[in-house]
Amino acid sequence: MTTQPTQLDAAHFDSKARQWDDNPLFRERGLKIADAIRQAVPLNRGMTALDYGCGTGLLSFPLKDELGAILMADSSGGMLEVVDEKIAAQGVTNMTTLQLDLMADPAPTQRFDLIMTAMTLHHVPDTDRILSIFHDLLNPGGYLCIADLDQEDGSFHGPEVDVHHGFDRAELSRRAAQAGFAAVQFQTVFSIAKEHDSGTQDYPVFLMTARREDA
């Protein structure tokens, strides 16, 4: 009997949250993506930001002193509990958390100067819809920064998991333009090596940056 692939739901990420920051690869990935955002976007303390699918905040904590208010949003309450504890432990004053799944919940009424999302887009079933929501959530001139896997053969998560198998850059660029974004650019920011029975396979991670340019 073949089993149908299933999505990784909030309960899955709840169960991973306490150990998430123990993984040096996750920590290094967050730092590398943060560095690339720093290079690509003129960050300043007046910028409001949304980190969508923030997990434990491995992307936003390194950037917190270079931004204004940061909304940390995730569908996993377990991940957000860890973020809340880190906010309290570090005395962070410019971060708040929100349990949010933009595929199911109403979008916040707030608007942002920067939306960043790391390794989350492949978990969101409807790419066009989320890009369009991100566009609506940005102020004119605002930046979208998406870090995710380049297109892969499905072996990153394995056949039992129903996610996008990374993204073709040209295709994602086309979808971003269709959602109203301009100045779409890509760079490679990290590579994840995974051991399989057949040997080691590398999975590059891109950063896509784009701007909402309409008035």
Which lies closer to ligand SAM via its Cβ, residue 146 or residue 184? 146
Q: Which residues contact 134 (CB under 8 A, 6 or more apart)?
A: 52, 115, 117, 144, 179
Give the count of beta carbons closer than 10 Å to the beta carbon of residue 208: 22
Which lies closer to ligand SAM via its Cβ, residue 26 or residue 206? 26
Which lies closer to ligand SAM via its Cβ, residue 43 or residue 149? 149
Q: Mark residues 52-91: x for contact with ligand SAM by CB under 6 A, - for none.
A: -xxx--xx--------------xxx--x------------
Which lies closer to ligand SAM via its Cβ, residue 62 or residue 142? 62
Q: Is there a contact between 116 and 53 (Cβ–Cβ < 8 Å)?
A: no
| CA separation for the pair 51, 36 (Å, rounded) | 15
Closest to 131 (Cα-Cα) out of 95, 152, 107, 151: 107
Provide the minimum distance between the beta carbon of 127 and ligand SAM in the complex, in angstroms, as a whole number: 12
Enumerate the β-bridge partners of residue 149: 205
The CA–CA distances, whole Å, from 103 to 76, 131, 135, 166, 198 equal 14, 11, 14, 19, 36
* 13 near ligand SAM, rule: CB under 6 A: yes
Q: Mark residues 85-124: x for contact with ligand SAM by CB under 6 A, - for none.
A: ----------------xxx--------------xxx--xx
Provide the minimum distance between the beta carbon of 207 and ligand SAM in the complex, in angstroms, as a whole number: 12
Q: Mark residues 123-142: x for contact with ligand SAM by CB under 6 A, - for none.
A: xx------------------
User: Interaction with ligand SAM in 17-46: which residues (CB under 6 A)?
Assistant: 26, 30
Provide the minimum distance between the beta carbon of 120 and ligand SAM in the complex, in angstroms, as a whole number: 4
- CB-nearest residue to ligand SAM: 55
| CA separation for the pair 148, 174 (Å, rounded) | 16
Three-state DSSP class for residue 191: strand
* 166 near ligand SAM, rule: CB under 6 A: no
Q: Which residues contact 203 (CB under 8 A, 6 or more apart)?
A: 149, 150, 152, 156, 166, 191, 192, 193, 194
**Which residue is listed with tokens 């909030």?**
10
Using CB under 6 A, list all residues that contact ligand SAM. Answer: 10, 13, 26, 30, 53-55, 58-59, 74-76, 79, 101-103, 118-120, 123-124
